[in-house]
Amino acid sequence: MIKFIKNFSKDEDGAVTVDWVVLTAAVVGLGIAGVASVNTGITGLATAIDTEMSGTTAADLGTLGFANE
């Protein structure tokens, strides 16, 4: 039993997996922080675009000279 515990403590097969899990968690955390930091600006920009475009209509292609050719 003691030999098994010594061998188990020296085994490094799972160490790389743990490193990748930690690295992936850090990248995901940075991504979430980045989205959170620009969220307010994007919301304000979308609101400004909506305000500017309210009450407008799309041009009919016939009025632009592209009628059924």
Q: CA distances (Å), 52 to each of 39, 42, 46, 55, 60, in order?
A: 20, 15, 10, 8, 20
Tell me the pLDDT band of 4, cut-offs 50, 70 and 90.
Answer: confident
**Per-residue tokens: 1:** 């039993």
Between CA 49 and CA 56 the distance in angstroms is 12
Q: For residues 15-30, give the mean pLDDT.
A: 91
The model's pTM is 0.50
